[in-house]
């Protein structure tokens, strides 16, 4: 691929980056939500009260949430890694404790220092370590 870099693209497995990459990841991962919805309706004959997903890299969350976004009675809950402690500042929780910035061509909440440089997250989560 390095020989033909002008017409090659690397697709990361997270819902990050410029359009259309997050949409492509959602399309690949949405089978998670489709299967979950199908199986709970078959077994319980109702939708779940809540769906909980890790939001570290986004692919798990976008995969399962996509099928339930229009279901107003289903609570969608994203959880972030606590790392070595929120109060210690050694965590992987940019949505709750980060600041808005640009990374991989996307605007998002990021773990960054006062100069806007990306900080190391304290997590063993794929995509955050």
Clarify whether residues 70 and 86 are in a common domain. Answer: no
Report the C-alpha gap between 47 and 76 in whole angstroms.
12
Is 25 inside a domain boundary?
yes
Is 5 inside a domain boundary?
no
How many CA atoms lie less than 13 Å away from 28 in the CB half-sphere? 14
Q: What is the pLDDT of residue 129?
A: 53
Region 6-17 average pLDDT: 75
Clarify whether residues 89 and 59 are in a common domain. Answer: no
Angle, helices 31-44/21-29, rounded to nearest 10 degrees? 30
Give the number of domains in the chain: 2
End-to-end CA distance of the chain: 26
At 44 the three-state DSSP class reads helix
Clarify whether residues 90 and 119 are in a common domain. Answer: yes
Angle at Cα 18 formed by Cα 16 and Cα 22, nearest 5°? Answer: 45
Only one residue has tokens 């997590």, namely 123
Clarify whether residues 67 and 88 are in a common domain. Answer: no
Clarify whether residues 15 and 67 are in a common domain. Answer: yes
Higher local confidence (pLDDT), 44 or 86: 44
CA distance readout (Å), 103 to 3, 16, 29, 39, 126: 26, 9, 22, 37, 17
Clarify whether residues 17 and 74 are in a common domain. Answer: yes
Choose one of 79, 95, 116: the last residue of a domain.
79
Clarify whether residues 89 and 37 are in a common domain. Answer: no
Clarify whether residues 16 and 70 are in a common domain. Answer: yes
CB 32 within 8 A of CB 66: no
Q: What is the pLDDT of residues 62-103, one digit of tens each?
A: 999 999 999 999 999 999 888 888 888 788 888 888 899 988
- Provide the residue range defining the domain that includes 38: 11-79
pLDDT over threshold 70, residue 32: yes
Q: What is the pLDDT of residue 109?
A: 86
Q: What is the pLDDT of residue 84?
A: 83
């Amino acid at each position: 691929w390095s020989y033909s870099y002008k017409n090659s693209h690397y697709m990361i497995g997270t819902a990050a980056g410029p359009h259309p990459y997050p949409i492509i990841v959602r399309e690949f991962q949405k089978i998670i939500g489709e299967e979950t919805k199908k199986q709970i309706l078959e077994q319980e004959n109702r939708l779940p009260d809540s769906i909980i997903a890790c939001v570290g890299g986004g692919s798990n969350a976008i995969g399962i949430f996509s099928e339930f976004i229009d279901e107003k009675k289903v609570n969608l809950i994203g959880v972030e890694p606590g790392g070595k402690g929120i109060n210690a500042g050694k965590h992987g929780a940019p949505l709750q404790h980060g600041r808005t910035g640009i990374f991989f061509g996307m605007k998002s909440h990021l773990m960054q220092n006062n100069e806007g440089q990306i900080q190391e997250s304290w997590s063993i989560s794929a995509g955050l370590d």
